[in-house]
Amino acid sequence: MTREEKQLLLNDLCARLPYGVIVKENDGVNENDNKLLDIDMFDGCINYDYIIEDIKPYLRPMSSMTEEEKAFLDTTKEIEYTQTGLTGKGVLTLESYDYLNSIHVDYRELIPMGLALEAKEGMYKTE
């Protein structure tokens, strides 16, 4: 894992911490799926015993979003204006990113980079 990949993954995990993202922890001996509980920026520990290289979050691909999720995401976007008027395209806002984090969507494309795993169907169901 490159330094840039570590930083990207760490940024992503920090943003998802409040939303109960599930991670695969693998230290070469033990492998567990656990909720992300803690990131200690001082000593680099994640969930108390693991380092960033030992962690892969389970995320949903953008393509797995339901129509309802897409519709709600659209309500969080700002309409972009130019000198010629509306562009017809919404721009993601902080609320948009918070929402995507809360539903565990991989908007940073970590899955294709091998930094995250595709979430199993129903993994994040709360109902």
Count how many domains the chain has. 2
Residue 42: predicted pLDDT: 74
Residues 35 and 90 in one domain: no
Does residue 52 share a domain with residue 1?
Answer: yes
Q: For residue 13, is pLDDT > 90?
A: yes
Domain that holds residue 33: 1-61+105-121
Indicate if 49 and 6 belong to the same structural domain: yes
Q: Classify residue 115: in a domain, yes or no.
A: yes
Residues 37 and 3 in one domain: yes
Residue 94 has pLDDT above 60, yes or no: yes
Is pLDDT above 60 for 86? Answer: no
Q: What is the average pLDDT across 9-14? A: 93
Are 13 and 52 in the same domain? yes
Do 85 and 109 belong together in one domain?
no
Closest CA to 22 of 64, 50, 59, 52: 59
Tell whether 57 and 75 lie within a shared domain. Answer: no
Query: What confidence category does residue 112 fall into, taking pLDDT thresholds of 50, 70 and 90?
Result: very high
One domain, residues 4 and 48: yes
Predicted local distance difference test score (pLDDT) of residue 110: 97
The pLDDT of 88-107, averaged and rounded, is 90
In DSSP terms, 118 is beta-bridged to 59
Q: What is the mean pLDDT of the chain?
A: 87
pLDDT for 106: 97
28: nearest Cα among 49, 2, 6: 49
Which secondary-structure segment (H or E) carries 102?
Answer: helix 94-102
Q: Is residue 127 part of a domain?
A: no
pLDDT of the residue at 48: 77
Quote the pLDDT of residue 84. Answer: 63
**Burial category of 53 from C-beta neighbours within 10 Å (exposed 0-12, middle 13-18, buried 19 and up):** middle
Two structure tokens written together for 31? 């492998």
CB atoms inside a 10 Å sphere around CB 116: 26
The residues, any chain, with a CB within 8 Å of residue 9's CB and separated by 6 or more, are 1, 52, 55, 57, 110, 115, 116
Q: To 5 degrees, how large is the angle CA 79–CA 82–CA 86?
A: 45
Name which of 42, 51, 46 is nearest 1 in CA terms: 51
